[in-house]
Amino acid sequence: MVRLIPFLFLMYIIAFLDRVNIGFAKEEFQAHAGISEAAYALGAGLFFIGYALFEVPSNLIMTRVGARWWMCRIMVTWGLISAAMSLVNSEFLFYLLRFLLGVAEAGFFPGVILYITYWVPHAYRARCNALFYFGIPLASVLGAPLSGALLELDGAAGFLGWQWMFAVEGLIACVVGVWAFFYLDDSPAHAKWLTEDQRTTLQAALDAEDEAKRGPHRLLSALVDLRVLYFCLIYFLIQCSVYGMTFYLPTQVSEAVGSEVGLLVGLVTAIPWTVALVVNIVVNTAADRLAQPKKRFVAAACVAVGSVGIAASAAFSNPVLAIAGLSVAAAGYIAVQPVFWTFPAAYLTGTAAAAGIGLINSLGNLGGFVAPVAKTWIESTLDSDAAGLYLLALCGFAAEGLFLTLTRSEDPARATTPQNSRTPKNLNPN
């Protein structure tokens, strides 16, 4: 997996950066483009409407045309639309481009989660998912200073700082998208960099797991399966907390350190995500050693810790304590997600996996639409900036409760536990 995971990781860094860089441009962007606070919250969330509507179709198309073609298409189109954000001069254009960005990016994340199931036996997926999820905190560790530095180019060549940021980061996505077409293989059977023995052994292990799964195999069965919908609800609550924090993190840090959003705020914003980088790998390496039913306790603990952290960041006026709270929140909310995705991946197979994973991600990511709107509404209603953060914490605690109610019925086939999953040694993620 040394060949695949780092590249998928790079792709996700760019995806997450293009999705949330609006948070860095927020103040200058609103001032120059004439975007109100309510319009910003709506536009930030409209991404997820387009994303949700086209997620399942996009994932199904990938199973037909192959990963390298579809990942290339996704990245190039979202890169062009992200770069076009530099042209926004009205609320309508802002709404339109954020919606189209969601349409363009739809299918990327669930496509990668599905793609990992083509290559990695169940016993190692939490670690591989965690390495892929490294893209979220690292996008912020690297992207926060990058976005801050690009904002400092304000006035260069006649462009505003936020225009530079959108244009440069969008074009990076286009370049990596073209690279993906030449780099990725659709499945182990097409991987010339594996030996014949490696291809045969790996495919046999994956086929045995698919045959043993007890979840739905067909498209419509997955879309109406109660457990799939239960996973959708859990993921929705997690994403409410994640995006409610992410979209406003630069502004919150700016207020905590008493500085305008720029390079300094970008560097400080990177602190919570640096903590999340370390915690993510430690937690998910440990989780892979557990049977699937026990992983629910790990997931519940992570989301509870994240919720305590975000509530603490609202309660503390001291900037050091506030940043510490945000660091705890980022660590918990990032670490829970790779563990979460082992549940649907263990349960679904065939066309149902493409549809089910796409549905979970699309409905779950509607939390990214709901969170900014709900956060803005409750803060305005209660006249309290802290109220929005407490609401996000409540979403996390609700997800914790749902994790704890998962039962042994979510356990994948017993044949796929770490003790008996066959993987060629030189393909082991360790």
Q: Domain 5-189+208-420 is classified in which CATH homologous superfamily?
A: MFS general substrate transporter like domains (1.20.1250.20)
CA dihedral 355, 361, 364, 368 (to 10 degrees): -140
Integer Cα distance of 375 and 390 in angstroms: 9
Residue reference for tokens 């309290």: 384
Closest C-alpha among 129, 172, 146 to residue 5: 129
Helix (H, G, I), strand (E, B) or coil at 125: helix
**pLDDT tens, the chain, 430 aa long:** 678 888 888 888 888 788 778 877 777 888 888 888 888 888 888 888 888 888 888 888 998 898 889 999 999 999 999 999 999 988 999 999 999 999 998 888 888 888 888 888 777 776 777 777 666 667 767 777 788 788 888 888 888 888 999 999 999 999 999 999 999 988 888 888 888 888 888 888 777 766 655 555 555 666 677 888 899 999 999 999 887 777 677 677 777 766 665 667 777 877 888 888 889 888 888 887 888 788 899 999 999 999 999 999 888 878 788 889 989 999 999 899 888 988 887 777 666 777 788 788 888 888 888 888 888 899 889 988 889 889 999 999 999 999 998 765 444 444 333 334 444 444 444 4
> For the CA atoms of the chain, what is the radius of gyration?
21
This prediction has a pTM of 0.68
pLDDT in tens, 308-358: 999 998 888 787 888 899 899 999 998 998 889 888 877 776 667 777 887
pLDDT in tens, 241-285: 887 777 677 677 777 766 665 667 777 877 888 888 889 888 888
Domain ranges of the chain: 5-189+208-420
Residues 6+ apart with CB under 8 A from 419: none
Strands, DSSP E only, in 115-273?
Answer: none
Integer Cα distance of 248 and 41 in angstroms: 10
